[in-house]
Homo-oligomer: A and B are copies of this chain.
């Protein structure tokens, strides 16, 4: 190639992606992740060019606390996905990847077997303050991967902060990995996450841990049963598995297949996708409205001051907010 990648027109990327060229796909994702304005315009054109070819995949969100064995699970589960004839893309959202671009793949012990396989594409995806953890770029990376022929997408997040909530908003199925811990079973799992899960899978159900895992499954199954059925009509499942012994992994895959069939038949699958698109649109508006407002230097300073004094005085929330907005829009004129 005579031209450096970033001087190529959108068509170059669109064609490369559609032809399944991984090098071009990777570079296109980098363009999408770039904050550079020129890149952003190029990114929009690329998305425009591939969007009609996107969507044809199953999008699986996987989360769990550090130490639950997400990478090992995905390594093992990924093989099951491949065995069933899919092309697999794994997008790993890692808060640390913002600073050290590629920190996840830098750690060579992570998914090392899976990453060298044919029909597998693994990529760290930066997290972001936007959309509570999931960057716009993660969503658009899914679209690119789909256009490149990847028909099974795993989005992996570390179970901290708010990112799991957003991941459930861009995936078809939300899988929560759990440990059968001693003592408090829900250690580290943020309130509300469990209720969003389409399935809980207890990892490391092997050796001396097997009995504990079975007990934990019963306990979780009981807790899950207390929640209302989700909108889809799907009743969340609780399973156990051992990634190292490759036990129960095929059953997780079968369960997900079952979900896909169930929600395809009742129409929920497509309906959810459409709702997600529209929700993302509205959420982006809200985020950008706020971003524009709060990045105003005068607003920023005023709010900082209010925050610093909040323990010493009675804030009157409504009149203070009203006044601040009036000032803002008067200045905008």
| Closest chain B residue to A55, Cβ basis | B314
Q: A306–B321 contact, CB under 8 A?
A: no
Interface residues in A281-332 by Cβ distance below 8 A to B read 281-286, 288-290, 292-293, 303, 306-307, 310-311, 314-322, 324-325, 329, 332
Task: Give A286's nearest chain B residue, CB to CB.
Answer: B290
**Nearest Cβ on chain B to A274's Cβ, whole angstroms:** 5
The answer to whether B311 touches A274, judged by C-beta atoms less than 8 angstroms apart, is yes
Instruction: Tell me the complex Cα distance, A184–B229, Å.
Output: 10
Report which of B139, B227, B322, B332 forms a contact with A186, defined as CB distance below 8 A. Answer: B227
Interface membership of A117, Cβ < 8 A? no
Decide if A65 is an interface residue (CB 8 Å cutoff).
no
| Residue A140 is within 8 A (CB to CB) of chain B in the complex | yes
A321 touches B290 (CB 8 A): no
Q: Which residue of B lies closest to A320 (CB)?
A: B281
Q: A192-B192, A290-B286, A290-B289 are in contact. Are A315 and B278 (CB under 8 A)?
A: yes
Assess the A289–B223 pair: CB atoms within 8 A.
no
Kindly state the separation between the CA atoms of A277 and B51 in the bound complex, as whole angstroms.
44
Interface residues on A, range: 35 or more
Verify if A136 is at the interface (C-beta below 8 Å from B). Answer: yes
Supposing A55-B314, A192-B195, A288-B325 touch, asked if A47 and B319 sit within 8 A by C-beta, the answer is: yes
Distance of A223 Cα from B185 Cα, bound (Å): 11
| Interfacial chain B residues near A288, Cβ < 8 Å | 321-322, 325
Residues of B contacting A307 in the complex (Cβ-Cβ under 8 angstroms): 278
Docked complex Cα distance between A223 and B221 (Å): 11
Contact across chains for B189 and A310 when beta carbons are under 8 A apart: no
Q: A51-B314, A285-B325 are in contact. Are A226 and B227 (CB under 8 A)?
A: no
Contact with B along A119-162 (1 / 0, CB 8 A): 00000000000000000100110000000000000000000000
Cβ-defined contact, A321 with B281, below 8 A: yes
From A195, which residue of chain B is reached at the shortest CB distance? B191
User: Which of A219, A226, A271, A292 counts the most B-chain CB atoms under 10 A from its CB?
Assistant: A226
Q: What B residues does A316 contact at CB under 8 A?
A: 47-48, 51
Query: A277–B317 Cα gap in the complex (Å)?
Result: 6
- Interchain CB contact under 8 A, B321 and A284: yes
Q: Which residues of B contact A306 (CB under 8 A)?
A: 278, 281
A44 contacts chain B at the CB level, 8 A cutoff:
yes
Besides A222-B222, A275-B310, 14 new A-B residue pairs in contact (Cβ under 8 A), listed by A number: A51-B316, A136-B318, A140-B318, A186-B227, A190-B228, A191-B228, A219-B226, A223-B223, A277-B315, A278-B317, A281-B321, A288-B322, A292-B329, A332-B333
Q: Report which A residues bind B (CB closer than 8 A).
A: 44, 47-48, 51-52, 54-55, 136, 139-140, 184-186, 189-192, 195, 219, 222-223, 226-228, 271, 274-275, 277-278, 280-286, 288-290, 292-293, 303, 306-307, 310-311, 314-322, 324-325, 329, 332-333
